[in-house]
Structure 1
Amino acid sequence: MRTSIIAFALGVWLCQSLPELPGTGWLLALLAASGAVAAVLWRAEARARLVGLCLLALAAGFVWSAARAQWRLADELPMAWEGRDVVVTGVIDELPRTLDRGVRFVLRVESASAPVPQRMLMSWYAPRAHAGGDEDAGDEGRVPSLRPGERWKLTLRLKRPHGLANPGGFDYEAWLLERGLRATGNVRAKGENILLDPLAAGPMVLVHRLRDSVRTRFLASLPGAEYAGVLVALAVGDQNAIPQEQWTIFRKTGIAHLVSISGLHVSMVALVVGGIAGWGWRRIPALTLRFPARKAAALAGLAAAAAYSLLAGLGIPTQRSLIMLSVVALALLLGRESAGSRIIALALFTVLVVDPWAVLSAGFWLSFGAVAAIMYVVGGRTGSVPGWRVAVTTQLSITLATVPALLVLFNAFSLLSPFANAFAIPLVSFLITPLVLAAIVLPFPPLLELAHWLTGLMMVALEWLADMPFAMWQQAAPLPLLALAGIAGVLWLLLPRGTPARHAGALAMLPLLAWSPPRPAHGEFRLTVLDVGNGMAAHLQTAGHDLMYDTGPAYGPDVDAGERVLLPYLGAVGVRRLDRLVVSHDDLDHTGGAASLAEGVEILDIRADLPPGHRLHAGGVAPVACVAGERWRWDGVDFEVLHPGAGDDPRRDNDKSCVLRIAARGGSVLLAGDIEAGAERNLLARSVHALASDVVLVPHHGSRSSSSAAFIAAVNAKIAVFTVGYLNPFRHPHPAVWAGWSASGARNWRTDSQGAIRVDVRDGGVNVEAQRLIAPRYWHGR
């Protein structure tokens, strides 16, 4: 059974790796063929029967996953309705999330004036003139305070699921698909937006109302409290009130799993309630004779875990935890003394049947990996070993076992995780979380105040650990083969004491920890134009140096491209230091991620003309403005600043952009910032021949105010890259500009539909690849 379930899981994973889904006919043919092969092999010896059963399970997992995907993708927004106003009546589902000047919420659609999906993720922003002050629902232009279960008639502008596509980046489209959110969009402020019913009927409406009430009461009881968001997350699973600075501390110390309702908390509630129920049941003989206390404890624990999971909103991670616990409880209720590996296999099968997209989640791999590590190390070996030793061994084993997965998924792991978890797990599990749960039932503020005080004590220690220079091990994402070798090394290291050459498993992990991706050869370079939406950011790498040109936009007051795109990308490619940062000009879509970038990596030199109050001036490296004529050479690659000139006095800020040309034996690249027609004329007057380049980062995202015919002719590029956001409000690139570069002989590339664009300039010439073409998935663009 266990082998067949692993084969089923492999089939699910193979389906989720496809660039396109096969048709229904192909799926039926695959299932029939595998069934026929299994039937033939079933008549042979035992080993052949096992092979046939595994083939059938593999095909079943693949077909089940593909069928579920086809069904979900069919619930889509037609492309013809993107960017158009649609009137929709629907119910607010789940907990709305408060934004800087608005709110984000899930809308369950009941009726619409156009074919729209059943569930959509919406944002409702106040006009900037009304962003501050009182936000009463009745004030025109302000965003009302939304509550779960409200039925609204809204005017929406929608778009199909779309996310940024970068190496090492988060797949937002996969996240939306797993949660059944098949469109995103905004509420039109000038549309007809009417509250129809304050409380509509629905299976989870009352649960979400309760969650909303608990969240509101917690935040009101702890006004301005630094860690109130952590307590809300432990109570109702809403993590939106936890600031990014605290998440950074949790990540560096390896305790992020403690501040979310995960398998640890669900299991803890089940064990505590089940233990109390079993203790009481055994003391009533009449009950014990009718029903075993062990089974009564399992039922009570499962009921408590289900109630806690409901309070958490039954999110995807909580569902997985509840399913795993349900399988264990069912085994106890049926009186099956199954091996731990069989129980975890059944839990794996159940999770994938319910949610075949779970294999795309980091939490799926980490949770099953941690449970498997515990069983591998502790199962059958405890005997008379002291409890403290089992606890220490278990924590160290989990830390070691998850290292390969953490490097593959996050390019990093916490070196201090065992120490942080040693005091954080008992503190959160046995003190803070029980106080939080008690505060849900008993509206007694001192309970929350005590929980907050204990959380503050924990955070003092965690902050001290996180500030240590060796808190995190960071490196580039390893190759799959190295990850597999690392897993094998971990398994060998975790064998029982006395196993010959057990410590040799560490040798198998060394290539994993020592690996770094290859860099361009001497005299060659690589340019990666990142997909940052409405903005610009490009990374240039030579044999021994790294340069970042622009840093992308700010997505909100606390979120920017530096944090969301640049740092994950640099981590994935193994860059921890930038030799130079060039900020073309002071526009937010080019400087928005600069501060986060400076906090995340060391920057040795900054070329930027920024006002004195800019955050980059607060660092240890003072920015210096670009000046035409500046040249430098790195590893056989030549860099030259072409604009602005020393005497230039442009009227428009865009025309202050730093224009940089990079040249090597195999080709050249021109990075033009946001220059417009005036700066283009100055460049042409200064030197027409200096502009000639094989690749150009098209000025001003393809705006009509740039890319004059004379400029296009002077550059004479073979490759034109447009940095644009999906359905951006500026309608970049302009069709005439797109056609102009194409007519000149250039092949056009664009980040919104192709993701990050990678340009390799080698001795043999220029090679271009796009992220969505390198790693396509069937849900991209769907």
Structure 2
Amino acid sequence: MLYQSDWKVFNRTGIGHLISISGLHITMVAGLFAGLVYWLWRRSFFTRAQLPLLLPAQKAAAVAGALMAFIYVALAGFGVPAQRTLYMLMVIAAAMWLGRLTSVSHVLCLALGIVIVLDPWAVLWPGFWLSFGAVAIILFAGVGRVQYVQQHGLKRRWSEVWREAWRAASHTQYVVTVGLVPLTLLLFGQISLISPVANAIAIPLVSFVVTPLALAGSLAPAPIAGWLLQLAHACIASLATCLEYLSKLSYSVWTTPIPAAWMFVLAMLGTLWLLAPRGWPSRWLGALCWLPLLCNLPSHPQEGDMTITAFDVGQGMALLVETSGHRLLYDTGPFYSPESDGGNRVILPYLDARGIGKLDAVVISHNDNDHSGGALSVFQHVKVGWVTSSLAPESAIVAAAPNHRRCEAGQAWDWDGIHFEMLQPAAPSYDSQKWKPNARSCMLKITQDRHSILLPGDIEAIQEQELLYSSADKLPATVLLAPHHGSGTSSTAPFLQAVHPQLALFQVGYRNRFHHPKLEVFERYADFGIKRLRTDESGAITLQFGTDLEFSEYRSEHARYWYHR
């Protein structure tokens, strides 16, 4: 069973394609079976049936290879890369059966067309673009090379043939590594720098040792099957140890923000120029088209401005606050399962897409699962300057947090002209046992010149009333994050009158079991003339604090026909 940490190693070393399902494996299995059928058919399965007179051995082998490929892909789950290989093999088998063999590029285009017709949604998967893109770039860069080897290979000694085969394999690895860089950065915002080394070790081992041993172990009788499978396991275990060492190297992965469309197009044109067939003039000039892609840096708000992104983490809370030189994460989203949470499913992919590798601070309002569930994932994958929370000292999150401090009312600091102040909880509340974690939520107010935002966590009516007595002058804000997701125990009328926001954010999950926000509370905001935005309807919400307050909704800017309006 593969865990999240295993896939992290595979992705950082660039060998995920081998672990899931590889087109090379499908082709190898189909080829071996087709070769076996071809050999047996020519000998009529050692009978006197004279089968080649009824059907040529080549056609029988083509059908057998295509059938075996279909069975193998069906067992593998029909992933897009596996589909691509299957349909290419079927097109080749059909062409051989009909006596209409064509060029490889035609086969690739037919396979692509079949995938899109049978599964139009496949275009939304990165594997679709990477799979077909890899084959296309190999065909593009290999023009003239295959024909040369075919024409001259048989006239050489075996040492020269092997040397030419090694050069061809090295060239193919170079082409795939370089050719997929723009597409990989567009899809993932990172590339594995040690992928060529890892693949040079893993591809021969997995393809020519582990896969044959596993297949043989599946068919062989006991106890031979056990020995074969144990040997395959030992090979994989050794490979995993080597890959884990490579993945921990500081330079194993290079990250950058997701490039703009023009950067990607320019880099792709440069890649085609760089990998053009022999005879193309000044191919090295193509590398210059990569400069905008390689110099792409994370964006920041202008001096004195502020950007806040309210993530769509489901029923939970998580916001990223950005100034011109600092970043703060308020809450980390919910815990979904032992393998997934708001941190590794939403926050970290967003940070990776932006090329953000460091957070100056993290505020965890309180210990509830929907606010602190993604904290450990964030701490494991992003550098964090300091953490403040209301969590108990014995909490696992506090133990893992770098430079942890307890949040208390009165704490304040300034970043790049933006003022941050903690309004809640009061220090004596930590000595009382009567309060739930909600009551100790770290309530943060952020003020930017003309505008401000209030982040109250999950405070309830009692805390709202206490704030009206102790800090009423500090409550007014342009934007209010609805306390406790708009529950029926918060957002009292006096509190909303004191804050008097123009805009309210509700971070809630679609059809959540708590029925947040409560209808009467949601309507209460409307009665006060407050504009309301919900993450379950808008997706992620981005606020731009500058001379004016502007906001954008992800689902409006990236509209899809399946978004119901």
Do Structure 1 and Structure 2 share a fold, with TM-score over 0.5? yes
Whole-Å separation in 2 of the counterparts to 1:756 and 1:682: 31
Whole-Å separation in 2 of the counterparts to 1:651 and 1:611: 13
Indicate whether 1:510 and 2:291 are aligned: yes
Maintained 8 Å contact 2:376/2:400: no
From 558, 562, 565, the counterpart of 1:775: 558
In structure 2, what is the equivalent of residue 358 of structure 1? 122
Q: Relative to structure 2, which stretch is displaced further, 332-341 or 251-260?
A: 332-341
Aligned-partner residue type, residue 778 of structure 1: Y
Deviations 1:517-562 (A, max 9, x none): 5321111101100011111000011111110000011101222111
Maintained 8 Å contact 2:333/2:373: yes
Whole-Å separation in 1 of the counterparts to 2:326 and 2:175: 38
Maintained 8 Å contact 1:524/1:666: no
Within-5 A mapping of 1:41-80:
none
Whole-Å separation in 2 of the counterparts to 1:652 and 1:339: 70
Within-5 A mapping of 1:335-346:
335-346=99-110
Maintained 8 Å contact 1:414/1:473: yes
Aligned length: 541
Q: Unaligned stretches of 5+ in structure 2?
A: 150-162
Indicate whether 1:247 and 2:7 are aligned: yes
In structure 1, what is the equivalent of residue 171 of structure 2? 393
Maintained 8 Å contact 2:267/2:289: yes
Q: Relative to structure 2, which stretch is displaced further, 730-739 or 377-386?
A: 377-386
Deviation at 1:375? 0.9
Within-5 A mapping of 1:680-695:
680-695=464-479
Deviation at 1:682? 1.8
In structure 1, what is the equivalent of residue 194 of structure 2? 416
Maintained 8 Å contact 2:80/2:127: no
Whole-Å separation in 1 of the counterparts to 2:24 and 2:84: 12
Deviations 1:248-281 (A, max 9, x none): 0000011111112342322221122223333455
Whole-Å separation in 1 of the counterparts to 2:488 and 2:415: 35
Deviation at 1:498? 4.9
From 432, 443, 446, the counterpart of 2:210: 432
For the aligned residues, what is the CA RMSD? 1.9
Indicate whether 1:725 and 2:506 are aligned: no
Deviations 1:107-158 (A, max 9, x none): xxxxxxxxxxxxxxxxxxxxxxxxxxxxxxxxxxxxxxxxxxxxxxxxxxxx
In structure 2, what is the equivalent of residue 703 of structure 1? 487
Indicate whether 1:525 and 2:306 are aligned: yes
SS class of match (1:612): coil
Deviation at 1:622? 3.0
Within-5 A mapping of 1:580-599:
580-599=361-380
Whole-Å separation in 2 of the counterparts to 1:419 and 1:498: 29
Deviations 1:655-693 (A, max 9, x none): 101111111124111111000112112211112121111
From 276, 287, 300, the counterpart of 2:64: 300
SS class of match (1:374): helix
Maintained 8 Å contact 1:584/1:590: yes
Whole-Å separation in 1 of the counterparts to 2:42 and 2:177: 38
From 569, 578, 586, the counterpart of 2:350: 569
Aligned-partner residue type, residue 514 of structure 2: F
Aligned-partner residue type, residue 450 of structure 1: L
Maintained 8 Å contact 1:324/1:351: no
Whole-Å separation in 2 of the counterparts to 1:373 and 1:280: 37
Indicate whether 1:539 and 2:323 are aligned: no
Maintained 8 Å contact 1:552/1:561: yes
In structure 2, what is the equivalent of residue 608 of structure 1? 389
1:512/1:666 CA distance change after superposition, 3 Å: farther
SS class of match (2:297): coil
Indicate whether 1:494 and 2:254 are aligned: no
1:509/1:316 CA distance change after superposition, 3 Å: closer
Whole-Å separation in 1 of the counterparts to 2:210 and 2:281: 44
Deviation at 1:344? 1.1
Deviation at 1:620? 6.6
Whole-Å separation in 2 of the counterparts to 1:372 and 1:290: 38
In structure 1, what is the equivalent of residue 524 of structure 2? 740
1:359/1:508 CA distance change after superposition, 3 Å: same
SS class of match (2:525): helix
Aligned-partner residue type, residue 199 of structure 2: N
Whole-Å separation in 1 of the counterparts to 2:343 and 2:92: 43
Deviation at 1:378? 2.1
Maintained 8 Å contact 2:140/2:277: no
Whole-Å separation in 1 of the counterparts to 2:393 and 2:217: 48
Maintained 8 Å contact 1:585/1:654: yes
Indicate whether 1:655 and 2:426 are aligned: no
In structure 2, what is the equivalent of residue 172 of structure 1? none
In structure 2, what is the equivalent of residue 136 of structure 1? none
Indicate whether 1:368 and 2:132 are aligned: yes
SS class of match (1:640): strand
Maintained 8 Å contact 2:506/2:534: yes
Deviation at 1:705? 0.8
Indicate whether 1:276 and 2:59 are aligned: no
From 636, 647, 670, the counterpart of 2:454: 670
Deviations 1:565-604 (A, max 9, x none): 1100111122110000000111111110000001111001
Deviations 1:71-90 (A, max 9, x none): xxxxxxxxxxxxxxxxxxxx
Maintained 8 Å contact 1:666/1:766: no
Whole-Å separation in 2 of the counterparts to 1:342 and 1:449: 42
Whole-Å separation in 1 of the counterparts to 2:123 and 2:351: 25
1:666/1:292 CA distance change after superposition, 3 Å: farther
In structure 2, what is the equivalent of residue 112 of structure 1? none
1:757/1:377 CA distance change after superposition, 3 Å: same
Maintained 8 Å contact 1:395/1:418: yes
Deviations 1:403-446 (A, max 9, x none): 11111111112111111111211111122122222333336322
SS class of match (1:604): strand
1:450/1:324 CA distance change after superposition, 3 Å: same
Whole-Å separation in 1 of the counterparts to 2:446 and 2:556: 26
Whole-Å separation in 2 of the counterparts to 1:748 and 1:528: 16
From 246, 255, 261, the counterpart of 1:474: 255
Q: Relative to structure 2, which stretch is displaced further, 263-272 or 555-564?
A: 263-272
Whole-Å separation in 1 of the counterparts to 2:166 and 2:55: 34
Aligned-partner residue type, residue 520 of structure 2: A
Q: Relative to structure 2, which stretch is displaced further, 507-516 or 648-657?
A: 648-657
Aligned-partner residue type, residue 268 of structure 1: M
Maintained 8 Å contact 2:544/2:551: yes
Whole-Å separation in 1 of the counterparts to 2:194 and 2:479: 45
SS class of match (1:605): strand
Deviation at 1:317? 4.9
Whole-Å separation in 2 of the counterparts to 1:467 and 1:518: 27
Whole-Å separation in 2 of the counterparts to 1:378 and 1:756: 44
In structure 1, what is the equivalent of residue 424 of structure 2? 643
Maintained 8 Å contact 1:616/1:623: no
Aligned-partner residue type, residue 449 of structure 2: R
In structure 2, what is the equivalent of residue 455 of structure 1? 236
Whole-Å separation in 2 of the counterparts to 1:313 and 1:408: 26
Q: Unaligned stretches of 5+ in structure 1?
A: 1-228, 230-241
SS class of match (1:500): coil
Maintained 8 Å contact 1:532/1:553: yes
Deviation at 1:292? 4.1
1:522/1:499 CA distance change after superposition, 3 Å: same
> TM-score, with normalisation over the residues of structure 2?
0.92
From 226, 230, 235, the counterpart of 1:445: 226
Whole-Å separation in 2 of the counterparts to 1:779 and 1:255: 34
In structure 2, what is the equivalent of residue 261 of structure 1? 21
Deviation at 1:778? 1.0
Deviations 1:169-199 (A, max 9, x none): xxxxxxxxxxxxxxxxxxxxxxxxxxxxxxx
Maintained 8 Å contact 1:717/1:745: no
Whole-Å separation in 2 of the counterparts to 1:490 and 1:618: 47
1:781/1:429 CA distance change after superposition, 3 Å: farther
Whole-Å separation in 1 of the counterparts to 2:56 and 2:347: 57
